[in-house]
Amino acid sequence: MLPSELLMTRIKKDKIYPDFLPLDHEHLELAEELINVYKDFTGRKKSELEEIIAEFEAGLNFKRIRGLRTLLERRCSFTSKYLVEPILARRAVFDVASSRSVTTQTERSKVIETVAQNLNVSVEDLEQSLWADLESEILLADFEPLTPEALVKWYNLTLAQTLLFKSSGMTIAVTSRAPEIFRAIKYFGLMYLQEEGNKVRVEGASSLLKLSERYGTALAKLLPAIVRSESWTLDAEIVIRREDMPRIYHFVMDSHDKDLLAGEEPMREAVPDFDSSIEQKFYNEFVSLSVAKNWELIREPDVLFTRSGIFIPDFKFQHKELELETYFEIVGFWTDEYLKKKLRKLRALPITILVAIDQNLACFNAESFGFGLDQPLILYTKKVPIGEVVRYLANIEQEAVKKQVEQFKKMKIVLEGDIIPLKKLTEKYGLSQEAVRASLKNPEYVVFKDVVVKKEQLSTIKKKLMAVERYVEAREIIEGAGLPNADEVLAYFGYKVKWKGLDPNDATIALQ
């Protein structure tokens, strides 16, 4: 985007258009000249660079040149060159000068010479260091060049983005599913609703009660994803204030204009795999918890289609053993009307979805957010309360296990063998390991974490353990009998492992 004062538009009746640069010889030549200025001035002061650019601005359209310059400087890195920290250098000069009467250039030179001697630097190095941190004195250290065509297209893109910043909303129509557009909408945290057919309505910044600047920037960043699509149309309502009276114009553009626009910003930041920082924090915190061993957190679930339009949940929780899945939606930018529409769409979903709403994003009244939503709802401030999400999943899991336990009681369970892997029982009866553990009450068997073991087999193992004291020997006996977790069996028998260091060969066992 460009600063709003550099926006150039054309108005015709109720339509408004960015004043795009054509890709003709004249303007490509201008772009090349500006690019060459930055190439040639590497290593020189910014003030020298500004003098040259000012000559372009004086002879041509000021806003146009300043806009191109703004983009080119985003590809520059500037540095300061000094031997003495400028602030320290100025302070040292001031300390010496304050004890003298400095009214002439000669007296000033004597002060500089004195300070240079005190700092053990040359007069030239001190002079250079004094004001090296001023913007006019910084040096162009590096410039990443681009082609004239790329600069013109980038400029046109930023003009359109700057205009969209003033949008109260826009309707996008695509001839295909255009998954990248939906992905970008989600990534930038935009409010959207599907209208009939292939149209998607995206709310604009002026429809928000708060955070309009950040949201407007996010809306503008959606444009490159639209431009990269095969076939599209865009109709945005632009709010322009004239004499303190707002008026709405339509900004209409379609895929025929894509040749004038860059499909991406040449220096755009890398897009992470998350839709927002809130989601990324939630994901990182969730996967670090032990509950993640049972639940898989899917960041990019499929697009869901309902009678009220498309819906793209932020996350899907899928249990790794039970046939359980549930969705999770984190509501970011919103208005009261938008949330009502979104919740109507949520009510149309044939699935269960947990909804988290940031209660600080707009004027919030918790009592007004029922809307007949038959879905679980949590409120948060700044970050999603991970504990509430974990409890929600635990309740789902417990209910499922409870139902399976009831189902398991009606079955005739046959246990055969001395050692039976729990996995074998779950596959045979179609139940989870949690349900099997909770249901098995056979007095002839003991249920461990991964296996069911006949008590007679355990008695044989216990007799062998009575003859050993070393931990490694005990493990050999237990694992040799076919049990996978020696420590679990030792604990069952009442043994305690005594460690004398980190080496298992030095450890012993003893009955508690």
pLDDT tens, residue by residue, 183-229: 778 777 787 776 666 788 887 765 554 445 667 778 888 888 888 88
Residue 466 CB neighbour total at 10 angstroms: 9
What is the pLDDT, as a whole number, of residue 252?
94
Tokens of 279: 């989601």
Does domain 165-259 correspond to CATH entry 1.10.10?
A: no
What is the pLDDT, as a whole number, of residue 270?
39
CA distance 330 to 197: 26
What is the pLDDT, as a whole number, of residue 268?
41
Tokens of 346: 């949520």
Tokens of 255: 């895929």
CA-based R_g, the chain, Å: 35
Question: In the chain, what is the straight-line distance between the N-terminal and C-terminal CA atoms, in Å?
Answer: 72
What is the pLDDT, as a whole number, of residue 21?
93
Cβ–Cβ < 8 Å for 260, 20: yes
H-assigned helices in 410-485: 422-429, 433-439, 455-465, 471-480
What is the pLDDT, as a whole number, of residue 150?
92
277-398 is classed in which CATH architecture? 3-Layer(aba) Sandwich (3.40)
User: Cα angle vertex 51, ends 45, 56, to 5°?
Assistant: 135
Judged against a pLDDT cut of 60, whether residue 363 lies above it is answered with no
What is the pLDDT, as a whole number, of residue 32?
94
* Residues facing residue 317 across a β-bridge: 297, 326
Report strand pairing: 419-421 vs 451-454.
antiparallel
Cβ–Cβ < 8 Å for 78, 141: yes
For the segment 118-144, the average pLDDT, to the nearest whole number, is 84
